[in-house]
């Protein structure tokens, strides 16, 4: 298994880590270009996401994706 900080994708092509801007870009692309309509945050160990990550998603990433999608005339 690749280390969390060593690569942006794991061996199966799943995206790992990244900044708020990277997550916003990836998720916005998923909505606009691939028809995604919802996202689920999973912890790497399949447990509960840590409070910092959960806060980042709720406070920074989700609103940024909604805003970016709205700029394209869609709703998220």
Q: pLDDT tens for residues 1-46?
A: 334 444 456 666 666 677 899 899 999 999 999 999 999 888 877 7
Q: What is the pLDDT of residues 34-73, one digit of tens each?
A: 999 999 888 877 788 888 888 999 999 999 999 999 999 8
C-alpha 2/C-alpha 61 separation (Å) is: 24
C-alpha 32/C-alpha 74 separation (Å) is: 8
CB 31 within 8 A of CB 24: no
User: Considering the entire predicted model, what is its pTM?
Assistant: 0.73
Strands in 1-76 per DSSP E: none
Give residue 35's region: left, alpha or beta (phi > 0; psi -120 to 50).
Answer: left
């Amino acid at each position: 298994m690749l280390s969390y900080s060593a690569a942006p994708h794991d061996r199966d092509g799943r995206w790992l880590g990244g900044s708020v801007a990277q997550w916003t870009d990836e998720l916005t692309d998923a909505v606009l270009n691939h028809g995604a309509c919802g996202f689920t945050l999973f912890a790497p160990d399949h447990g509960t996401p840590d409070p910092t990550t959960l806060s980042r998603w709720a406070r920074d990433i989700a609103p940024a994706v909604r805003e970016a999608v709205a700029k394209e005339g869609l709703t998220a």
